[in-house]
A and B are shown apart, each in its own frame.
Chain A
Amino acid sequence: MASAVLNLLNSILDWLTVALDAPSARAVIFGVPIGGHLVVEVLLLVVILFLLSQKSYKPPKRPLTEKEIDELCQDWVPEPLIPSITKEMQSEPPVLESAAGPHTIINGKEVVNFASANYLGFIGHEKLLDSCTASLEKYGVGSCGPRGFYGTIDVHLDCEARIAKFLGTPDSILYSYGLSTLFSAIPCFCKKGDIVIVDEGVHWGIQNGLYLSRSTIVYFKHNDMESLRGTLEKITAENKRAKKLRRYIVVEAVYQNSGQIALLDEIIRLKEKYRFRVLLDESNSIGVLGSSGRGLTEHYGVPVEKVDIITAAMGHALATEGGFCTGSARVVDHQRLSSSGYVFSASLSPYLASGAITAIDVLEENPNLISKLKGNITVLWEGLSDVQGLAIASNQQSPIVFLKLEKSTGSLKSDMRILQDIADRMLKEHSVLVVASKRSTLDKCRLPVGISLFVSAAHSESDLLKACESLKRVASAVLGKCK
């Protein structure tokens, strides 16, 4: 049996040799005889080509079957929509039973109000009420449409022109809410890749606008011009393409979070040196700073054209609601079709626009309101300069008098609790309403929290002294106890 197999094998081998030799046995290339090589090499080539033509190896794909997806869906457990409610989340704000003027009623008791940014005392002003009433009777309450779709009422145009005339700019644009002004205006002018240098103390509206713009954001130390200069220098040196990008410095005139006033003259110098544009939020300075209330530019004697974009909320000194943005005609016109909060939102209620016009008129007629306010700020500032445990952190001319804890406990939450305790006791024991900072979990501002008092021209001297006295007593009681 074995020999038969062997024979067969031999004969096959013989045949193979003959067969392989046969076509190329006598082939000679360049004087080299090549026996069966050619055939073998051709075969090899064929094999290589065959292998190359095959797909490379991949682990077999096994997509999830419907059943598996079903199981995954069944197993998935979402987190609750909101975290569980803790005790600190349940605090109730004071409820006002009358207008939020310098004196208001809470729980049936008259209190002195330092919580409203009613800087010029326009809440309850006769002329404002008359113009709002007339407007309500003529136009109704709401505008029932965005500006593009018959939501433009003649008072809106008048108001825009009035604001521009007051500030000395070519044009302005109205927004229907103070908070939305910035987070709509900023994404209009900054897009991905643009560079924005911003103060670390800016309020949430600006933070959100910057986030939505997707530009490169660099923070500098709060109101620190050295830090701003360093940042500008670094950015300009680092970025070779910087000249091709839009570059902005974003600051607040009076910082809501600290009561500091931006050093505009220095900022303008730096801006011109490094060729940045400036976006200035004047929410707390219009009607307050400058000899006629035209804001920070007037305060520093800087021509208003030097600041490229100015925004402001009207819910403070002007005692209405909404906001505006002003600047060159190009800046304003660009927003009319590109600003989402302007295009996609119902316009400002006409009576609020009328109110704003009247407020500016009244302000222009009564410049003494501003000197009264300045006097009040000085009285309060001086009265509060030696409160136990609290230190004034705000500028001497800021209408927000801001006191922070001399010794922070180290945690934001307990600081806030102590401050809230002070505010609560001032309201309860002395009928003085002041503000203890609250921070949203979304707010990225890391400045210390504190007590704010919003000064109004309508506060009388006794109101101011009462507030000082009350804060001193409560602070020494609360903070003295802590030690």
Chain B
Amino acid sequence: MIAIPYLTALTTYFSYGLLFVFGQIRDLFSKIFDWWSSNNLQGYAPICLGLEDFYIRRLYLRIQDCFGRPISSAPDAWFDIVERYSNDNNKTLIRTSKLTRCLNLGSYNYLGFAAADEYCTPRAIQSLKKYSASTCSSRVYGGTTVLHNDLEESVAKFVGKPAAIVFGMGYVTNSAILPVLMGKGDLIISDSLNHNSIVNGARGSGATIRVFQHNTSSHLEEVLREQIAEGQPRTHRPWKKIMVIVEGIYSMEGEIGKLPEILAICKKYKAYTYLDEAHSIGAVGKTGRGVCELLGVDTADVDVMMGTFTKSFGSCGGYIAGSKELIQYLKYTCPAHLYATSISPPAAEQIISAIRVILGEDGSSRGAQKLARIRENSNFFRSALQKMGFEVLGDNDSPVMPIMLYNPAKIPAFSRECLKQNVAIVTVAFPATPLLLARARICISASHSKEDLIKALEVISRVGDLVGIKYFPAEPNKQQQDGRVKLE
């Protein structure tokens, strides 16, 4: 729940209103010109309907240089950003060969495995030589190598579940698994801020979907009680099964899911639980085992544990961990297992090696150091930002910290000013967040040194003053909440 000040809400609405009006005027003119030189295909409806890409044409293109900045090195603590310029008011951006070395506060490189690693990279290259870059086959046909089985075993052991299955892409993991587990007559209760892959998976499943207020266990209970009592809509038959889907760390809020309360409620009402640890696995917990370890939850209480390897492990792909029977069933019928190319062998090796480093099985204490480092870095950075008066979302220990910007003009301003001072920051706006709640998001990595962080804080503070996003007084005052509109 984010409280937005009245004045800010008003100016934000005003800005979007202005952008909308100007966009419409420009659309009107472009329509006239198009009509003039009508070269449209006769008899075809336009491939993108008018309002569908209005947002892209008239809003996004103006600030497109703040997104998708190409880089020319590994996404480590510092990376090289390729400079771009535009000759047509940002409609197209042209790459130059000039590079700028910037501090990276944007990549999900939580444990610093993104760059070449002394332990992982040689092994990944070795397995590339042995197994090549791809198997060109799905897991059930000819795409299972020894490496794939090893990977599943070590993931299951790391996560703390009897078995696991891996896929070549995190997004597909969610969107192909949910349709297998849930179907017509089933109910999915999903957190309101769940990731798009979960939303798409749930939609693809054909089950009924209900949403509960973000991270609010009392509302979850309310929804569960109401749904069990009412049964399926119209027929009023009891639900076949109910699944509650939550995330470990919410990537756009930096919040840690209130797992113990939610699990207790699910247990009480016999609902199955699905935990998406895309951002939390490897990044939090004493030995990097995710939110369950951090919050002291027994993994046996979670029915389906999902996570990705793109973040902490610096690789690609995703996994599902669960009971032996569950995994066996998924291997029998999950379309992503049956039809999709299996995960690339070097990527699989990278994950296995990263897990070994995290667990200290490589014979060094680098893993433990990395974990201690990310926790220290995150908490240091968060408290410093809060002290400066930024509106920072999220919980302690979480390496993701969004800073609220609100006004659309502040998105490019903040991003460009930071870049000028060699700090690369991610700004997030619609469609990844609600229209009003544009934000900048910082992802802290274990590979950041203290000096890096101090430099980043200096820059952010300066730019924050310039752009005017220190919504709180420098010493945070808890009584600030009065006179604020409540917004989801």
Contacts and interface: CB of A to CB of B under 8 A. Distances in A.
A303 B360 CA distance: 57
Contact of A319 (B133, B169, B272): B133
6 contacts: A76-B238, A93-B142, A117-B136, A177-B340, A348-B316, A438-B338
Interface string A292-321: 000000000000000010000101100111
Nearest to A318: B134
Contact of B67 (A84, A149, A244, A438): A149
Contact of B339 (A150, A205, A321): A205
B335 A152 contact: no
B339 A142 contact: no
B332 A89 contact: yes
Interface stretch (A47-55, A133-141, A367-375, A384-392): A133-141
B292 to A, nearest CB: 19
A333 to B, nearest CB: 8
Interface size class, chain B: 35 or more
B483 interface: no
A93 B168 contact: no
A82 B69 contact: no
B72 A153 contact: yes
Contact of A315 (B136, B175, B181, B309): B136
Interface stretch (B102-110, B153-161, B384-392): B102-110
Given A137-B121, A179-B340, A94 B60 contact: no
Contact of B137 (A91, A115, A180, A330): A115
Interface string A197-217: 000000111001001100000
A177 B172 CA distance: 8
A42 interface: no
Contact of A101 (B120, B125, B132, B168): B132
Nearest to A207: B335
8 closest A-B pairs by CB:
A115-B142, A315-B341, A177-B169, A346-B310, A345-B171, A89-B332, A179-B340, A140-B74
Contact of B170 (A336, A337, A346): A346
A32 interface: no
Interface in B344-373: 344-347, 350
B141 A93 contact: yes
Given A132-B133, A337-B56, A204 B125 contact: no
Interface stretch (A3-11, A15-23, A122-130): A122-130
Contact of B136 (A118, A151, A351): A118
Interface in B143-188: 143-146, 149, 168-172, 175-176, 179-181
Nearest to A97: B146
Contacts of A308: 47
Contacts of A346: 108, 170, 308, 310-311, 316
A334 B49 CA distance: 11
B36 interface: no
B82 interface: yes
Nearest to A76: B228
A229 interface: no
A213 B145 CA distance: 35
Contacts of B121: 136-137, 140-141
Contacts of B135: 96, 99-100, 116, 123
A72 interface: yes
Interface stretch (B8-16, B27-35, B283-291, B321-329): B321-329
Given A140-B117, A351-B133, 15 more contacts: A78-B242, A78-B271, A79-B240, A84-B325, A99-B131, A116-B142, A129-B128, A129-B132, A140-B116, A143-B310, A179-B172, A183-B204, A320-B344, A340-B171, A454-B136
A316 B136 contact: yes
A420 to B, nearest CB: 10
Contacts of A152: 68-71
Contact of B431 (A95, A97, A246, A343): A343
Contacts of A330: 47-48
B426 interface: yes
A113 interface: yes
